[in-house]
Amino acid sequence: MANKNIALITGVTGQDGSYLSEFLLKKGYDVHGTIRRSSVDFRERIAHLEGLPNFHLHYVDMSDSMSIIQVLRKVRPTEIYNLAAQSHVQVSFDSPEYTADVDAVGVLRILEGVRQCGLEDTCRIYQASTSELYGKVEEVPQNENTPFHPYSPYAVAKLYGFWIVKEYREAYNMYCCSGILFNHESERRGETFVTRKISLAAARIKQGKQEKLYLGNLSSLRDWGYAKDYVECMWLILQQEKPEDFVIATGVQHSVRDFCYYAFKRVGIELEFTGEGIDEKGIDKATGRVLIEVSKDFYRPTDVVNLWGDPTKARAKLGWNPNTTGFQELVNLMVDHDMAKVAGEGAAEKVRMNLAEFLEKGIVK
Ligand code: NAP
Ligand code: G4F
């Protein structure tokens, strides 16, 4: 009987972890996901998978080697997808030490755990790396040979993760590699990332449940793809004969302002932008009402403003199509989802509404 594929996904409750679980379960894998203990139920993104015979959950914290080793010994995975991270760039300015522990040393804990459990010849490891490594960019668009210039505590931590993966590959001949993924979004994106903050606000403003949206740098440029398309690449990267790092991106760039424009357009509001920098405003062309304002609270001490990926290598070697879901289709998917979500929001959702108010006041970024 052929050996069964056993995947261990750290960070299974996250946006990517949930889509990757679905993808691997469809491929017949046994999927083991790691979760953190919490006093509240935070498993909304994977609730539909719980109870499936091939889906299993284990407690792991990336800051705790013992919990990592315990799960490695028990599960003996054939593939590890290390997605767990403190993934918010602004939060990394507020909690830099924690971010380094989880996003940098956490990667080392996985690699060394695999060695200590004697899995180095049988287990392949995918590391969730990021376009934030290019940071204060040294060329556009960015590819696998573009020099790194990390520009936040998050990016510096992720750079350690990238290099320690490369080191273990070369020093111990382990099959471990990094996917340098550009921003990818979805209906499951965390609500404090800019795209989801905008899609939710467009829905709430349209339905009269929010007055205004406050944002930071509207001119920031990103290469935004659809998370559901990107998890396939994580798997493809681990199916190559030799371990290699890959840039995963759409090759198309848009500004935060563009995202706002198309999100509000989807709900029937045409925006016009006037003013510059902190004075810029997004106005409803039909009514003259100011719907978007810029707030200093959402500016970062250092901001990455020009991310644009070149997916040539992924297209050629992985046979991956970077343009399965286009930018406007992605915006529409997110906004349509949030229009339905907001319409269904009742009294129990008041707490979520309060979060939106906090967001506006800059308490949660
Ligand atoms: P996400 O939604 O924020 O999910 C992060 C996951 O990590 C969650 O399951 C979270 O658990 C878990 N986690 C956080 N701290 C942990 C800790 N100390 N111990 C154990 N688990 C912990 O992020 P995502 O968007 O799915 O991204 C997945 C990975 O790709 C991350 O490493 C991120 O840095 C990287 N990445 C993302 C993008 C993107 O555009 N989405 C682009 C490039 C790279 P809780 O649910 O308990 O918080
Ligand atoms: O949506 P963001 O917070 O994502 P960011 O910083 O690009 O990070 C995400 O993508 C990375 C890949 O490049 C991942 F590694 C990382 O884990 C995460 O998933 O911000 C995008 C841009 C930034 O330039 C930010 O300054 O939008 C700008 N922005 C403007 N106003 C805002 C806001 N960002 C947030 N979160 N909130 C705002 O109000």
pLDDT, mean of residues 30-36? 98
Condensed to tens digits (0 to 9), the pLDDT of residues 311-338 reads 999 999 999 999 999 999 999 999 999 9
pLDDT, mean of residues 228-232? 98
Condensed to tens digits (0 to 9), the pLDDT of residues 191-223 reads 999 999 999 999 999 999 999 999 999 999 999
Condensed to tens digits (0 to 9), the pLDDT of residues 102-115 reads 999 999 999 999 99
pLDDT at 62: 98
Q: Mean pLDDT score of the chain, rounded to an integer?
A: 95
β-pair type (176-181, 124-130): parallel
Output the residue whose Cα is nearest ligand 1's atom 23.
Answer: 14
pLDDT at 42: 84
pLDDT at 74: 98
pLDDT, mean of residues 158-182? 98
pLDDT at 361: 52
Output the residue whose Cα is nearest ligand 2's atom 9.
Answer: 183
**CA atoms within 13 Å, Cβ hemisphere of 337:** 18
pLDDT at 1: 43
Identify which of 8, 9, 12, 16 to mutate to test ligand 1's pocket (most ligand atoms within 8 A of the CB): 16
Ligand 1 is surrounded, with C-beta below 6 A, by: 11, 13-17, 36, 42, 60-63, 83-87, 102, 128, 130, 181, 183-184, 190
